[in-house]
Amino acid sequence: MRKPFFISAFLMSVLVAAPTPIFAAAPATPLNVYMNGEQQENVLLLQGRTLVPLTAFDDPTQLIYSYDAKSKTVNITNKVNQVSIQLSSGEQEAIVNGKKVIIDAQVTIKGGRTFVPLRFLSENLGGSVSYDKVGNKVVVRTPSEQERFKTLMSGDLTDARKIAISLPIIQGKDALQPQGEGFSVKYTFPKGETLRYYQEYKGLVNYVEINADGLAELKWQGDNPQMEAKLREKGNKPAKLGEAVYFINNVMSDYTYYGTIDESGKSTELGQINLSEENNKGKLIVPIDGEKRTDARKS
C-alpha cells in the first residue's frame, strides 16, 4: 500500500552546527532505499528506524524552504498541498502545520548531513513511498517525481521514453566499462515500448529494463561485435527486440538521428534534428509516425 510522502532538497549546509546525538547509529540499514530512482548509500539505522538524508529530496518545483540560524530550524513548505514543516536538529518532534508531531527517531546530524526518519516523511508530505518486504527495499518518490512515474508507466510514448533514459541505471560495482571511442549515444526501443531499451556508448551495449517500481535495472552488457577489442559479456542476453526504433545523439555534430529497425536488423533513417537550433535544444527522443504505445501499465 502506498502512503503519502514528500519533501525537498536543500539542507546540505543547514543544521551542521548542531550537537551530535548521544546515541550510536548503525552504519547501514538492512533495507535497500531508493530515492527518485537512485539507490541511497548514506542511510542510517537508528533506534530500529530507517533514516534518510534530506539532501536526497530534490523537488524545487513544489517545495520551498528557509533556515533560521538562531534556532537551527529548517522550515519546509509544499507549495501545492500547503503543508508546512519545521525540523530542528536533535529533536524527536516536528511542527506540522503549527501542531507538534512526535517522530520515531531524532533528527540526526552525521558526517555533515541531516537525516530524518523515513516513516515521518512518508506519513506527512505528498509523493509516495512503497515497501517491498520480499525484495527488502523501499522506493520513495517526491511529488514531482511521482507525476513523472505515472507518465513513465502509462503516459505518452515519447514523454515516457524521455523519462526512461533520464533515470539512473542501477548496476553492480563490477559492471563493465566502455573501452572504445566515440562521441555518440544510441538508444534502441522495441516498437511501441518504453520500459526496456538498449543503450550504446563507446562500443559498450547496455540492456536496461524498468521494473514496476520505476527503477531502471541493468540486465545485460556486451561489447559491440564491430569493436576490435576482445569481446566481453555480462548478464543474461535478452531475446531479440523484433521491430524497433532508434535515436542517436551525436555530440560532435550536434545532431540527433532517428529511424526504425526491421526484424532482420536493417535500419532506416527517418530524420535528423539540428540540436543547435533554439527550439531543438535537448531533443533526443521524438515521435515516430504511426507508432503507438503497447506496454503501458497501471501505476
Each domain of the chain, given as residue ranges in start order, spans: 32-145, 155-280
Tell me the three state secondary structure of residue 118.
Answer: helix
Q: How confident is the model at residue 30 (pLDDT cuts 50, 70, 90)?
A: low
CATH for the stretch 32-145? 3.30.457.10
Taking the model in full, what pTM does it have?
Answer: 0.81
Position 108 scores a pLDDT of: 82
**Lowest mean pLDDT, pick from 47-61, 164-178, 191-205, 280-294:** 47-61
pLDDT exceeds 70 at position 20 = no
Q: Average pLDDT, stretch 167-175?
A: 92
What are the tens digits of pLDDT across the range 252-296?
Answer: 888 999 999 999 999 999 999 999 898 888 889 999 999 999 999
Q: Collapsing DSSP states into helix, strand and coil, what is residue 43?
A: coil
Residue 47 pLDDT level (bands cut at 50, 70, 90): confident
Q: Which residue has the higher pLDDT, 294 or 136?
A: 294
pLDDT of residue 88: 85
What's the rounded mean pLDDT across residues 14-21? 33
Long-range contacts of 41-48 (CB under 8 A, 24+ apart): 42/111, 42/113, 44/108, 44/110, 44/115, 46/105, 46/106, 46/108, 46/115, 47/23, 47/104, 47/105, 47/106
Mean pLDDT in the chain?
Answer: 83
DSSP tag of 26: B
